[in-house]
């Protein structure tokens, strides 16, 4: 039953030391076996400290974090982590927020936070769909831009029709052989 700590900052310019000091003051041993940190992990999932913490934590352990927003990048991410830990019998305590996932009150807090996370996901999805619909109505093309122009497609078709081997056509136009086949298939479907 270890007491583990996790500290995270979103940018390289921010300092972890205040969080580390608070975790040590709360009883976490100031050693890398017990204290896990991440810097500049705002948008990506490359949080090595969190990954190591999740591997190290065992049933009966307690993880201390200074604040709710330090555990996850957003509510959904935080709830996902808490639910994973809870299912493994690992408690999470947030020092400054006075929240713990232990006991029935803790379970209630997790349930409420899960509902908030679901509402946040639904809101984001709704806004995304509204934005996409408005963009389409304004004539904005959605999706990836074509990697091959119509002109190049016609040149590829003409070259193949002239009997030039597809491998040579691919080399000539600096595209893959598969792209030659894809172009021919697409043009055949639209013909």
153 in Cβ contact with 126 (< 8 Å): no
Model confidence over 68-107: pLDDT tens digits? Answer: 888 887 777 888 898 899 899 999 999 987 888 888 888 7
CA dist., res. 172 & res. 147, Å (int) = 16
Domain boundaries, the chain: 3-117, 150-190
Using 50, 70 and 90 to split pLDDT, how confident is the model at 63? Answer: very high
Model confidence over 133-181: pLDDT tens digits? Answer: 999 999 888 887 777 888 999 999 999 999 999 999 999 999 999 999 9
Please determine, for residue 55, whether its predicted confidence score (pLDDT) is greater than 80.
Answer: yes
Residues taking part in catalysis = 10
CA dist., res. 100 & res. 95, Å (int) = 9
What is the CA 166 to chain-centroid distance, rounded? 40
The tokens describing 11, both together, are: 């940018």
Burial class (CB in 10 A: 0-12, 13-18, 19+), 85: buried
Burial class (CB in 10 A: 0-12, 13-18, 19+), 112: exposed
CATH superfamily label, 3-117: Resolvase, N-terminal catalytic domain (3.40.50.1390)
CA dist., res. 182 & res. 46, Å (int) = 35
């Amino acid at each position: 039953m270890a007491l583990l700590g996790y500290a995270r900052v979103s940018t390289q310019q921010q300092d972890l030391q205040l969080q580390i000091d608070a975790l040590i003051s709360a009883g976490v041993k100031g050693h890398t076996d017990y204290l896990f940190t991440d810097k500049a992990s705002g948008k990506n999932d490359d949080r090595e400290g969190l990954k190591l913490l999740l591997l190290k934590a065992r049933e009966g352990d307690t993880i201390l974090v200074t604040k709710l927003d330090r555990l996850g990048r957003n509510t959904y991410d935080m709830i996902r982590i808490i639910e994973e830990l809870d299912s493994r019998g690992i408690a999470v305590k947030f020092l400054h927020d006075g929240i713990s996932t232990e006991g029935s009150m803790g379970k209630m807090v997790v349930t409420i936070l899960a509902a908030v996370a679901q509402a946040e996901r639904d809101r984001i999805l709704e806004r995304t769909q509204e934005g996409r619909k408005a963009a389409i109505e304004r004539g904005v093309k959605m999706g990836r831009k074509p990697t091959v122009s119509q002109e190049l497609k016609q040149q590829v078709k003409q070259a193949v029709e002239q009997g030039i081997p597809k491998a040579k056509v691919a080399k000539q136009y600096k595209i893959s052989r598969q792209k030659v086949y894809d172009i021919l298939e697409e043009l055949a479907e639209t013909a």
